[in-house]
Amino acid sequence: MKKKRFLSVLGMIGLAAALLVSGCSSQSSTQQGDKVELYMGYSSDPPTKKKMEEIIAKFEQSHPHIKIKTMTAPYDDFYQKLTTQIAAGNAPDLWQSDGTKVFGYAQRGAILDITDYVTKEINKDELNGLEFNKDADGKYWGVPQGIQVGALFYNKDLFDKAGVPYPTADWTWDDLKAASVKLTLDANGKNADDPAFDKKSVKQYGFAFFGSSRGAFNILKAYGGGVLDPTLTKSIINSPENKKAVEWMVDGMQRKLFPNPADLKAFQSNFKAFLSGAVAMQVDIYAATTSMNGAGLNYDVAPMPKGPDGKRFAPVIANSWVINKKAEEQKVKAAKEWITYWTTSDEAQKEWTEVGEAIPVKKSVANSEMFLNPATKPENKKVFLETLEFAGTIDTNAVFTEWVKVFTDNLAELFMDKYGTDEFITKTDQGIQKVLDDFFKKK
Amino acid sequence: MQKRLPLNKIAGYLFVIASALIMLVPFLTTVFNSLKTYKQYMQFPPEWLPNPTQWSNYTTVWEQANFSSYTINSLIVAILSVIGALLSSSMIAFAFARLRFPFRDTLFMIVLGTMMIPGIVTIVPQFIIFKNLGLLDTLAPLWILEWLGQPFAIFLMRQAFLNIPKDYEEAAKLDGCNPFQIYWRVFLPMCKPSLATLAVFTFMGKWNEILAPVIYLISDENFTLPIGILSLSGQYKTEDQLLVAGALISLIPILIVFLFAEKYFVEGSKTSGLK
Residues A70 and A81 in one domain: yes
Task: State which residues form the domain around A376.
Answer: 36-147+317-384
In chain B, where are the structural domains located? 66-272
pLDDT at position B271 is: 54
Q: What is the pLDDT of residue B273?
A: 45
Q: pLDDT tens digits, residue range A53-110? A: 999 999 999 999 999 999 998 898 899 899 989 998 889 999 999 999 999 999 999 9
DSSP B184: I
Same domain, A296 and A415: yes
B42–A276 C-beta distance less than 8 A = yes
* pLDDT range class, residue B94, cuts 50, 70, 90: very high
Q: What is the CATH number of the domain that holds A98?
A: 3.40.190.10
User: Which of B76, B182, B235 best tests the A interface by mutation, with the highest count of A CBs <10 A?
Assistant: B235
Whether residues A42 and A84 share a domain: the answer is yes
What tens digit of pLDDT does each residue of A101-129 get? 999 999 999 999 999 999 999 988 999 99
Q: What is the pLDDT along chain A (443 residues), one digit of tens a residue?
A: 444 555 455 454 554 444 444 444 433 444 455 789 999 999 998 889 999 999 999 999 999 999 999 999 889 889 989 998 999 888 999 999 999 999 999 999 999 999 999 999 998 899 999 998 888 889 999 999 999 999 999 999 999 999 999 999 999 999 999 999 999 999 999 999 999 999 999 999 999 999 888 999 999 999 999 999 998 999 999 999 999 999 999 999 999 999 999 999 988 889 999 999 999 999 999 999 999 998 999 999 999 999 999 999 999 999 999 999 999 999 999 999 999 999 999 999 999 999 888 999 999 999 999 999 888 999 999 999 999 999 999 999 999 999 999 999 999 999 999 999 999 999 999 999 999 999 998 76
The pTM for the full model equals: 0.82
Decide if A6 is inside a domain.
no
A265 and A280 fall within a common domain: yes
Query: Residue A247 falls within a domain, yes or no?
Result: yes
Within this chain, do residues A86 and A154 fall inside the same structural domain, yes or no?
no
The contacts of residue A437 (CB under 8 Å, 6+ apart) are: none
How many C-beta atoms lie closer than 10 Å to residue A201's C-beta?
12
Residue in chain B nearest A358 by alpha carbon: B236
Measured in angstroms, the CA of B100 and the nearest CA of chain A are apart by 22
Domain boundary among A384, A402, A417: A384
Please check whether residues A165 and A308 belong to one and the same domain: yes
Q: Has residue A2 been placed in a domain?
A: no
Please answer yes or no on whether B88 and A15 come within 8 Å at the CB atom. Answer: yes
Topology of the domain comprising B66-272: MetI-like fold (1.10.3720)
CB pair distance less than 8 Å for A22 and B140: yes
Considering the domain architecture, whether residues A370 and A429 belong to the same structural domain is answered as no
Regarding whether A156 and A118 lie in a shared domain, the answer is no
Q: Are the C-beta atoms of A287 and A196 separated by less than 8 Å? A: no
Is B140 near chain A, with CB under 8 Å?
A: yes
User: Residue A279: which of A190, A186, A205, A191 has the closest Cα?
Assistant: A205
Q: Do A295 and B238 touch (CB under 8 A)?
A: no
Residue A58 lies in a domain: yes
| A84–B127 CB contact, under 8 Å | yes
Question: Does B238 contact chain A (CB < 8 Å)?
Answer: yes
Name the residue of chain B whose CA is nearest to A275's CA.
Answer: B42
How many residues comprise chain B?
275
**How many domains are there within chain A?**
2
Q: What is the pLDDT of residue A22?
A: 43
What are A168-173's contacts with CB under 8 Å, separation 24+?
Answer: A168/A302, A169/A302, A169/A303, A170/A306, A171/A302, A171/A305, A171/A306, A172/A305, A172/A306, A172/A307, A172/A308, A173/A219, A173/A222, A173/A223, A173/A248, A173/A305, A173/A306, A173/A307, A173/A308
Same domain for A112 and A258, yes or no, is no
User: What pLDDT shows up at residue B268?
Assistant: 56
Asked whether the beta carbons of residue B127 and residue A87 sit closer than 8 angstroms, the reply is yes
**Cross-chain Cβ contact A77/B218 below 8 Å:** no
Is A171 found in the same domain as A277?
yes
CB contact under 8 A, B180 and A14: no
- Of A16, A400, A296, nearest in space to B38 by CA: A296
Chain B residues whose CB is inside 8 A of the A73 CB are: 214, 227, 230-231
Q: Does residue A278 belong to any structural domain of this protein?
A: yes
CA-based nearest residue in chain B for residue A45: B234
